[in-house]
Structure 1
Amino acid sequence: MRLLIANPNRTEAITDACATLARAAASPGTEIVPWTNRDGPPVIDSLYSDSMAGRSLARSLVTIAQRVDAVVLAGFGSYGTGAVKEALDIPVIGLPEAAMAFAAPLCHRFVIVTTSPRMIPYTQDLVHALGFAARCAAVRAVGLPPVGKDEPPAPEVVRSLAAEVAAAHASAGADLAILGGSRLSPYAAALRGCTPLVVIEPLACAVALAESLARLGLRQSKAGKFAPPPRPLGEYD
């Protein structure tokens, strides 16, 4: 089985980090194929950059995805996920939907911790769009610097994550924590040692879900929302 790990932005270092995480989560025999959206923005940290990523992502994956069994969109956002699902006949999985699908049978309500306060409304909208609003106790954020700036020491990031998780548990009753992005994924193991809550790392969930769907021969339904566009894709350029 071949899984495409598609980085919606053009930063190769993020692609490499996602590929490493995906290989650690993949089953024996699964080949991880990393891909970078070179026509996308350098980072996705706003509604504007989300929109900039979506068009080039959808156009490029139509050709590339013919050589794989499933696609994982390796970002905790939208990025034209619906357009990619319309265009492709293989399973397409985004990190948010995979993480929340895994969380649902494991908890009463979850908290999502994202990378910066400005991404809280963005993530709240995403939760609503994916149909998990009733299960989401809170969306909180740590204050990581912009991508490309010096990352804080790992223990400091873990302490910040643990504080946000504890606050959501105390104030909103969250009993599971989802890390809101692959940038936070490397801290999952350390965070599990600092909280009694279950901690969900989204990229591992997306890889596991994509593998399962491919093995079962399932894909997004083409009988409704994700039916192919009515015109040939080239006519939309």
Structure 2
Amino acid sequence: MRILVVNPNTSLGVTRRIDLAAQAAAQPGEVVQTVPAAFGPELIVTPEDSALAMQGVLAAVEQNHHGMDAIVLASFGDTGLDQVRAQTGKPVIGIAQAALTRALEHGPRFSIVSFSPSVQGSLRAIVAHYGLLDHLADVTVLQDSIWTDPGAIHTELAEPLLRLCQQRAKTGGIDSIVLGGGPLAGLARGFAPHVSLPLVDGTTAAIESVRRMVTGARDSAPT
């Protein structure tokens, strides 16, 4: 199976982080190709960012989807999801949809942990989009976080993000924690031994989801 992973922002550092997480989730024989949006913002925060990023995603998909079996959109806004499905006719999933679905497998209540107040509203909005606000306990974010580059969020904010996950798990009232945002791809694997609740990584969940989608389509195809 060949999987195209599109980072809807243009940060090469974030794209590398997403690729590492996607490659780690791939099984033997699966080929993962990760690309950034063809153009657009380095980080998607506002609705205006999302609108511009969607056009960059569609251009990147058009350039790279031929020969691919499935597509993952690796921003937590699932940027361009419906449009890419219509454009390609292939199995497509966004990391938010995949992560929220995986969180509910652990139980009915989850929290989202992320890196900045600037993304808090958009994280709640995507949960609302999927009709899951009743399952969302809260969106917990770092306050006054500073980073040098979107691709550096993964390393520069790792320690405070881990502490935030630990604190949120200790507070209770939830069954899992979703790490919200493409720049956090892969952190769950390293955090997991130090946090008392299941952690959900959107990129990992998305790779596993498209695997099931492609396998299911092949199994149901007429012979």
Higher alpha-carbon deviation: 155-164 or 35-44 = 155-164
Equivalent-residue separation in structure 2 for 1:16 and 1:26 (angstroms): 15
Contact 1:114 1:139 in 2 (8 A): yes
Equivalent-residue separation in structure 1 for 2:119 and 2:159 (angstroms): 22
Moved over 4 A (4+): none
Partner residue in 1 for 2:55: 55
Higher alpha-carbon deviation: 145-154 or 20-29 = 145-154
Structure 1 pair 17–83 and aligned structure 2 pair: CA distance change class (3 A): same
Equivalent-residue separation in structure 1 for 2:118 and 2:13 (angstroms): 23
Partner residue in 1 for 2:44: 44
Structure 2 unaligned segments of length 5 or more: list them: 219-223
Contact 1:111 1:165 in 2 (8 A): no
How many angstroms does 1:193 deviate by? 2.8
Residue 162 in structure 1 maps to residue 161 in structure 2 = no
Partner residue in 2 for 1:90: 90
Structure 2 SS opposite 1:131: coil
Coordinate RMSD, CA, aligned: 2.0
Higher share of residues assigned helix: 2
Partner residue in 2 for 1:145: 146
Structure 1 pair 153–145 and aligned structure 2 pair: CA distance change class (3 A): closer
Equivalent-residue separation in structure 2 for 1:100 and 1:198 (angstroms): 13
Structure 1 pair 147–91 and aligned structure 2 pair: CA distance change class (3 A): farther
Partner residue in 1 for 2:214: 214
Contact 2:186 2:203 in 1 (8 A): no
What is the total number of aligned residue pairs between the two structures?
214
How many angstroms does 1:142 deviate by? 1.9
Contact 1:54 1:80 in 2 (8 A): yes
Structure 1 unaligned segments of length 5 or more: list them: 219-237
Equivalent-residue separation in structure 2 for 1:62 and 1:193 (angstroms): 40
How many angstroms does 1:106 deviate by? 1.4
Structure 1 SS opposite 2:89: coil
How many angstroms does 1:63 deviate by? 4.4
Structure 1 SS opposite 2:174: coil
How many angstroms does 1:123 deviate by? 0.9
How many angstroms does 1:108 deviate by? 2.2
Equivalent-residue separation in structure 1 for 2:5 and 2:78 (angstroms): 15
CA-to-aligned-CA distance 1:96-153 (integer Å, 9 cap, x gap): 1001111112112000112211211111111011122222111111244246176536
Contact 1:142 1:164 in 2 (8 A): no
Equivalent-residue separation in structure 1 for 2:107 and 2:58 (angstroms): 33
How many angstroms does 1:86 deviate by? 2.1
Partner residue in 2 for 1:233: none
How many angstroms does 1:89 deviate by? 0.7
Structure 1 SS opposite 2:140: strand
Higher alpha-carbon deviation: 123-132 or 152-161 = 152-161
TM-score for the superposition, normalised by structure 2: 0.87
Name the larger-Rg structure.
Answer: 1
How many angstroms does 1:190 deviate by? 3.9
Structure 1 pair 42–147 and aligned structure 2 pair: CA distance change class (3 A): farther
